[in-house]
Amino acid sequence: MAELTLKQVRKSFGALEVIKGVDLEVASGEFVVFVGPSGCGKSTLLRIIAGLEDTTSGTLTIGGMDVTYAEPSERGIAMVFQSYALYPHMTVAENIGFGLSLARRPKAEIAAKVAATAETLQLTQLLERKPKALSGGQRQRVAIGRAIIRDPKVFLFDEPLSNLDASLRAQMRLEISDLHARLKSTMIYVTHDQVEAMTMADKIVVLNGGVVEQIGSPMELYRNPATPFVAGFIGSPK
């Protein structure tokens, strides 16, 4: 069964239609990458899945349930943003556990889950530090930790590596792929970077001007690009 489906999803901001009838099925455990040029609607589509934007029309299901009108907190998703959005005055442990604190979970449960999450992300030695005492890669891991601790059905990443330098980006690509292999959760990852798309994805969704140009595995897109746009985009990595 599909973990996530979008049927004819459209989104307009005033007179400007930015998502123009997107159909998509994401299988449970799949790593799907949305790729396309700046302004093509990647973030908007991700925010629609997260429930941070409503749709103008169309429907959305997660785990077989219609969530078109569901609140973000009811969707079983967690989002990792490009700007790490960590709380500067809180320690790593407090940042990771913040969502559970808000939900008023018992302190012992929060401590145990923070410890397990830190272990998964190799942050155990850094739990008492403040974000300003962390490297870019470590901050990104904390941001991922805040998502993992909620045990979401679907992870959403919006250009999580674009603030990192090239060598760290390469390392974090491997870390996120490794995390996906271990957690086996469904992940949707937005990037404008062809290399990230080609190396990380089970399935790539190529977006252009709010329209899906092609959906397929990296190899399918490379071998059989459906349009000149896909050929140009996939064929000319930066």
CA distance 142 to 85: 10
Which residues, 41 to 60, sit near Mg ion by CB under 5 A? 43
Q: Which entry of Mg ion, ligand ADP, none binds 29, CB below 5 to 8 A by partner kind? A: none
Contact pick of 43, 138, 140, 185 for ligand ADP (by CB under 6 A): 43
- Alpha-carbon distance of 63 to 184, in angstroms, equals 15
Question: Which CB sits closer to ligand ADP, 43 or 91?
Answer: 43
Q: Tell me the C-alpha to C-alpha distance, in Å, between residue 170 and each of 42, 167, 173, 177.
A: 22, 5, 5, 11
Q: Is 86 in contact with 140 (CB distance < 8 Å)?
A: no
Task: Answer whether 77's CB lies under 8 Å from 156's CB.
Answer: yes
Q: Which is nearer to Mg ion, 113 or 196 (CB)?
A: 196
By CB under 5 A, residue 95 contacts Mg ion: no
Q: Minimal distance in Å, beta carbon 70 to ligand ADP?
A: 20
Interface pattern 4-33 for ligand ADP (x via CB under 6 A): ---------x----x---------------
Nearer to ligand ADP, 42 or 113 (CB): 42
- Check binding of 82 to Mg ion (CB under 5 A): no
The residue count of the chain comes to: 238
CA-to-CA distance for 222 and 232, rounded, in angstroms? 10
